[in-house]
Chains A and B, each alone.
Chain A
Amino acid sequence: MSDKKKLAVEPNGTADEGLSRRDFFKTGAGAGVIAITGAGAAEASQSKDAAWDYEADVIVLGSGCTGLPAAIRANDLGASVLVIEQNSEAGGRAQHSGSWVSLGGGDVVQERDKAGDVDAEGFITVDPLVPAEALEDDVELLFKDVTDWSVVDEQGYGYYRFNNPDQHRGWAENCPPTRQFLIDNYVRFTRINGTHFGGGVSRARAASCFLMLGGVTDIKAGTITPEDAGVADPERTSAFVPRQLSISADRTAPNAVHGGGAMARCLEYSAREKGVRFMFNRHMDEIIRDGDGQVTGVVASYTPRHDPDTGEQLQSYWSHGNIEETRKTIRIKARRGVVVGTGGHSGNPHFRSQFYPRMNEPWYPTSGWALLGGEGRAADASGIVAGIKVGASLDGLHQNLGRRTYHIQSRLAVRDAYTDMYPGHPTFSFRKAAGFNIGGAGWEHLVAVNQVGKRFFNEMSLRDEAIEPRYPGGIKQGVPNKWDAHTPYDWRNCRSSWVKEMYDYSAGVDAALQINDGSTGPDYFAGPIWAIFDQAAADRADFPLRYPYVSTENGCFFKADTLEELAEKIYFGNDYQRMRLSHLVETMETWNGYVDNGEDPDFERGRDDAPMHRIAQPPYYAASIMVVWHDSYGGLRLNRHCQVLDMESKPIPGLFAGGEASGGGQMHGLGRGLCHGYIAGTNVMKSGVVGESL
């Protein structure tokens, strides 16, 4: 007997109907319930299909900022769509984003703000935030901006120079329809107040996504309760949004909130309402390409998440449209195509160390580590690797070495240091603490030591605030001219005298990652780095050394009466602390001597950066300082249709991708992924069959 399963629709479903578009409408948009028939009833009528456990027109891999729009768009165009998500929840990293969506090209939000209009629902009460001239945009200017070879960033890197032109032509042309598409799917945009990294210098193009505070959370009405928004209690988030939304008074209205949850939940809601199906806890392991070269489906494995404290399995917030499937491995057929929206590779030390060998240290995670699922599943390069295995080529690999990919965080005492998260979200227990943000000033109260307890850099320069060349331009953005005087493709933008003038790169993160006294071959792991401070520092700087900001259970925060005890607690309390911090006591004695002398001959602290302080009053503290590789660049090579290209630059039939799974674009954030999703969702129904072309 075959173990094949197919979807059927109650009450009239039969095993062989499969996952049809009609089924989705009957079950998703209506009140119907999807049933999964038993193995015996699911016998295939055609032997060639015998290996498939599920099938749909379009399989979307991942439910983040690429996957959700791709799924909705394909569904809108008549496809049955199944979204495979390794996590227990939809939204991917978009959930914890700031929701700043940079598009442009004359999109409807630019036009709205340019005209001084408000949104259709009349929620916005603040006036436009940028001059109308800064919103005078078109596709040609947008395309030129995002392929502007002449602009370099503060480390002298050609920020837009290496962007794939064809991919970005398609991106620019699709920005205006993507903005409208998002609005049509319950996403509400604030006033435009800038342009995101990689979105160009010449115009303002980014707006956040908002909801209005109200007595009930109602996506259709555009409201959310303060509790769901995470603004009712400064030390709580909610199951609805993993990261507290921001009060949006500056860009929307006094009672509005914006943030990733206000975008991801709206798209998820729309997808479910329209009948897109979701299979959570399911990791794509392999893309299947048949003998004709057509991508025909995927192999996916079961990856449930369990609360590390209670053992309880995590569930998605909404269940409407979910397919519960617990078999270890299944094969899913894609009749038209597969869209790869699996995210990047910043959580995969093996993959990312291809670009920066020192990032092989597994202690350093990707951002959203707790939210996305921890080791081996968050931004794990799975889509890229699976694409490579079916013949895909890669693009933009070196763009990882541009700015904003890996950096030292000022949030201490938590591994997931890129963002905060408070109790109330189911994944908080994976991080166990929000961590505490010491900003720039807090570094003067501590010394930073490596895995053997030695200092390695001037602590005041460890955190580096990157500057990206984007609107509004000018010196603050590392661009010689402001947006209204900026000329794309003008060689003067990278005149060497200018580059020398504005070059400003602190190698603190690089020093943190380098070989040290504890590194041994062949991996030469750098190991964790620790902020060491005393009670006097905690009092001076008012560090919140209490729950939920710190926890002694997450391997990231320790307290002891003596430095020797502290070193032992770190050694036994952190899995990646592979050796004792044998130099810690001596390091602190040396430091206190430097403070007494008023100079730091090792790293020149205290000259012109900040005062130095003795670290001597017990108890002593150690808090993790994290290098976080946030977003990654470099991935599957795309054309303008978001088709994945093979080694001969030809589209692989049936394979589409976008967002961080794709390469060739030095563009951060949602604008890239959302637009790619829209493009891929559009084209997966137009093509995807061997012999067809777009």
Chain B
Amino acid sequence: MMSITISSCDVVVSPDEVVAGAEVTLAGKIVCTPAQALDGVALLIRDHQGDEVTKIPVDAFDGEENATAHVSVRAPEAPGNYTWSAQLVAEAGITNEIRPPHEAVRFEIAVAAHALRLMVWDVPSAVETEQRFTVKIGLKCCSGCDMSGRRIAILDQAGNEAGTKILSGAFWPGSDGLQFAELDLSAPDNEDLFHWHAFAPPEGDDDLHQEAKAAFGVRAVAPANCTVRIEAVDKDTDGPLPNMNVVMHPYRARTDANGIAEIKVAQGAYSVFVSGQGYYPVQRDLDVIDDLVSRAPLEAEPPPSKDW
């Protein structure tokens, strides 16, 4: 009977940090003397409680090192650092003696909490001071946990709670498990761009999920006292251009079927853009001191040439 001395036995864990309850890949590397294929040998994996998790067979030998298959197992369900063990075991019928009797090697598995992704959208680009406005918020767990019942708070620039909502379980249309809600909020009482946050705070005994934050801007503006009427037309045909974007920062609108957008703005100096698919954008500066009408002739982009 031939004796084999194990020089080293390592377990490679991938990824370095795994989300709680997710799959983690384990692979073993074994060096022995004399160097030879450890046919019929496997690594017995035990978890932090000593329970058997899996057995990974050695299946490759490159002349110096034996390697096991890559096996995916489920990580512990709670965040933390866990010490697991791996022990070389020989299958029945293998006559080689592994010397010294191989002791289990220990390896670490770092388990992270589930990341929560919080989003805010449909924030009006401009809100008159102290006026009500709505935003949409969405929350998703990276592991797909149900977020219904989770509370979302909106924090204003000073960190005070400006609104709150409990997720009902409604999914955002077109998404793959994104739960959303609409919040009704009140704009600040002075004009400026304010930096607000949506916040999904930690909840009670739920240590499985991290808290989440998402920043968004709230632009509070003076009450509108002028109406700017933009008439978008094709420069060559003079025909109306519907669905054009009209941006007079921070105000935004789209032209209607008649190529017209009416925007209520506060008096001031603006840079106005009119743009849309198939046309070169136009820009002009407007000083708004009263209601006004501005015609915006847009030049069509030539269609992509197929001559080349």
Residues in chain A near residue B283, CB distance under 8 A: 608-609
Tell me the minimal C-beta distance from B89 to chain A in angstroms.
34
- Are A564 and B308 in contact, CB atoms less than 8 angstroms apart? no
Which one of A438, A564, A593, A616 has the highest number of Cβ atoms from chain B below 10 Å of its Cβ? A616
- Are B273 and A618 in contact, CB atoms less than 8 angstroms apart? no
Which residues 111-129 of B sit at the A interface, judged by CB distance below 8 A? 115, 117, 119-123, 125
Residues in chain B near residue A439, CB distance under 8 A: 277-278, 301, 304
Select one of B178, B217, B301 contacting A618, CB under 8 A: B178
Tell me the minimal C-beta distance from B121 to chain A in angstroms.
4
Task: Pick out which of these stretches binds chain A: B35-43, B63-71, B183-191, B244-252.
Answer: B244-252
> In the complex the two chains form, what is the Cα distance from A441 to B304 in whole Å?
13
Check if B275 is an interface residue, CB within 8 A of chain A: yes
- Are B215 and A668 in contact, CB atoms less than 8 angstroms apart? no
Check if B73 is an interface residue, CB within 8 A of chain A: no
Check if B297 is an interface residue, CB within 8 A of chain A: no
Q: How many residues of A contact B (CB 8 A)?
A: 51
Q: 19 new A-B pairs (CB below 8 Å) besides A610-B281, A618-B119?
A: A98-B308, A439-B301, A441-B277, A444-B281, A535-B174, A589-B215, A596-B125, A596-B219, A606-B249, A606-B273, A609-B283, A611-B245, A613-B245, A616-B122, A616-B123, A616-B216, A618-B174, A618-B175, A668-B308
Tell me the minimal C-beta distance from B15 to chain A in angstroms.
11
Residues in chain A near residue B178, CB distance under 8 A: 561-562, 618-619
Check if A540 is an interface residue, CB within 8 A of chain B: yes
Tell me the minimal C-beta distance from B182 to chain A in angstroms.
13
Interface string of A541-585 (1 = CB under 8 A from B): 110000000000000000011111100000000000000000000
- Are B115 and A98 in contact, CB atoms less than 8 angstroms apart? no
- Are B120 and A616 in contact, CB atoms less than 8 angstroms apart? yes
A596-B193, A609-B281 given as contacts; is B121 within 8 A of A616 (CB)? yes
> In the complex the two chains form, what is the Cα distance from A619 to B138 in whole Å?
11
> In the complex the two chains form, what is the Cα distance from A410 to B304 in whole Å?
10
Select one of B123, B140, B278, B308 contacting A561, CB under 8 A: B140
Which residues 431-481 of A sit at the B interface, judged by CB distance below 8 A? 437-442, 444
> In the complex the two chains form, what is the Cα distance from A611 to B249 in whole Å?
9
Tell me the minimal C-beta distance from A250 to chain B in angstroms.
11
Which one of B172, B175, B306 has the highest number of Cβ atoms from chain A below 10 Å of its Cβ? B306
Residues in chain B near residue A12, CB distance under 8 A: none
- Are A540 and B245 in contact, CB atoms less than 8 angstroms apart? yes
Residues in chain B near residue A597, CB distance under 8 A: 193, 217
Check if A208 is an interface residue, CB within 8 A of chain B: yes
Task: Provide the main secondary structure of the chain A interface.
Answer: loop
Check if A246 is an interface residue, CB within 8 A of chain B: yes
Check if A259 is an interface residue, CB within 8 A of chain B: yes
A564-B117, A592-B217, A618-B175 given as contacts; is B308 within 8 A of A100 (CB)? yes
Which one of B121, B177, B193 has the highest number of Cβ atoms from chain A below 10 Å of its Cβ? B121
Check if B142 is an interface residue, CB within 8 A of chain A: yes
Residues in chain B near residue A565, CB distance under 8 A: 117, 142
List 22 A–B pairs whose Cβ atoms lie within 8 Å, in order of A's numbering.
A98-B307, A208-B307, A243-B306, A439-B301, A440-B301, A441-B275, A441-B277, A441-B281, A534-B121, A542-B277, A563-B117, A564-B117, A564-B142, A592-B216, A596-B193, A597-B217, A606-B249, A608-B283, A612-B247, A614-B123, A616-B216, A619-B176
Residues in chain B near residue A540, CB distance under 8 A: 243, 245, 254
- Are A562 and B281 in contact, CB atoms less than 8 angstroms apart? no
A97-B308, A592-B216 given as contacts; is B273 within 8 A of A561 (CB)? no
- Are A617 and B121 in contact, CB atoms less than 8 angstroms apart? yes
Shortest Cβ-Cβ A-B pairs, 7 listed: A596-B217, A611-B247, A598-B249, A611-B273, A562-B117, A98-B307, A616-B121
Check if B61 is an interface residue, CB within 8 A of chain A: no
Task: Provide the main secondary structure of the chain B interface.
Answer: loop
Check if A673 is an interface residue, CB within 8 A of chain B: no
Check if B276 is an interface residue, CB within 8 A of chain A: yes
Check if A337 is an interface residue, CB within 8 A of chain B: no
Check if A349 is an interface residue, CB within 8 A of chain B: no
Interface string of B227-269 (1 = CB under 8 A from A): 0000000000000000101010110001000000000000000
Tell me the minimal C-beta distance from A97 to chain B in angstroms.
7
- Are B305 and A98 in contact, CB atoms less than 8 angstroms apart? yes
Which one of B123, B243, B250, B275 has the highest number of Cβ atoms from chain A below 10 Å of its Cβ? B275
Which residues 140-179 of B sit at the A interface, judged by CB distance below 8 A? 140, 142, 172, 174-178
Which one of A208, A592, A611, A616 has the highest number of Cβ atoms from chain B below 10 Å of its Cβ? A611
**Closest residue of B by beta carbon distance from A98:** B307
> In the complex the two chains form, what is the Cα distance from A571 to B247 in whole Å?
35
> In the complex the two chains form, what is the Cα distance from A206 to B305 in whole Å?
14
Check if A347 is an interface residue, CB within 8 A of chain B: no
Residues in chain B near residue A100, CB distance under 8 A: 307-308
Select one of A592, A617, A669 contacting B122, CB under 8 A: A617
Residues in chain A near residue B142, CB distance under 8 A: 564-565
Residues in chain A near residue B120, CB distance under 8 A: 616
Residues in chain A near residue B307, CB distance under 8 A: 98, 100, 194, 196, 206, 208
Interface string of B264-296 (1 = CB under 8 A from A): 000000000101111111010000000000000
**Closest residue of B by beta carbon distance from A669:** B308
Tell me the minimal C-beta distance from A194 to chain B in angstroms.
8
A564-B142, A611-B247, A618-B121 given as contacts; is B275 within 8 A of A444 (CB)? yes
Interface string of B79-123 (1 = CB under 8 A from A): 000000000000000000000000000000000000101011111
Interface string of A240-283 (1 = CB under 8 A from B): 00010010000000000001000000000000000000000000
**Closest residue of B by beta carbon distance from A630:** B308
Residues in chain B near residue A610, CB distance under 8 A: 273, 275, 281
Residues in chain A near residue B123, CB distance under 8 A: 614, 616
- Are A598 and B250 in contact, CB atoms less than 8 angstroms apart? yes
> In the complex the two chains form, what is the Cα distance from A194 to B280 in whole Å?
24
- Are B304 and A611 in contact, CB atoms less than 8 angstroms apart? no
Tell me the minimal C-beta distance from A670 to chain B in angstroms.
10
Tell me the minimal C-beta distance from A65 to chain B in angstroms.
13
Which one of A194, A444, A534, A536 has the highest number of Cβ atoms from chain B below 10 Å of its Cβ? A444
> In the complex the two chains form, what is the Cα distance from A98 to B123 in whole Å?
46
Which one of A100, A534, A592, A596 has the highest number of Cβ atoms from chain B below 10 Å of its Cβ? A596
- Are B121 and A564 in contact, CB atoms less than 8 angstroms apart? no
Tell me the minimal C-beta distance from A442 to chain B in angstroms.
6
- Are B174 and A619 in contact, CB atoms less than 8 angstroms apart? yes
Interface string of A520-538 (1 = CB under 8 A from B): 0000000000000011100
- Are A441 and B138 in contact, CB atoms less than 8 angstroms apart? no
> In the complex the two chains form, what is the Cα distance from A592 to B215 in whole Å?
10
Tell me the minimal C-beta distance from B225 to chain A in angstroms.
21
Select one of A444, A562, A613 contacting B119, CB under 8 A: A562
Select one of A441, A560, A668 contacting B278, CB under 8 A: A441
**Closest residue of A by beta carbon distance from B275:** A610
Tell me the minimal C-beta distance from B171 to chain A in angstroms.
10
Residues in chain A near residue B281, CB distance under 8 A: 441, 444, 609-611
Tell me the minimal C-beta distance from A222 to chain B in angstroms.
20
Residues in chain A near residue B172, CB distance under 8 A: 561, 618
> In the complex the two chains form, what is the Cα distance from A565 to B19 in whole Å?
14
Interface string of A27-38 (1 = CB under 8 A from B): 000000000000
**Closest residue of B by beta carbon distance from A206:** B307
Tell me the minimal C-beta distance from B132 to chain A in angstroms.
20
Residues in chain A near residue B217, CB distance under 8 A: 592-593, 596-597
**Closest residue of B by beta carbon distance from A404:** B308
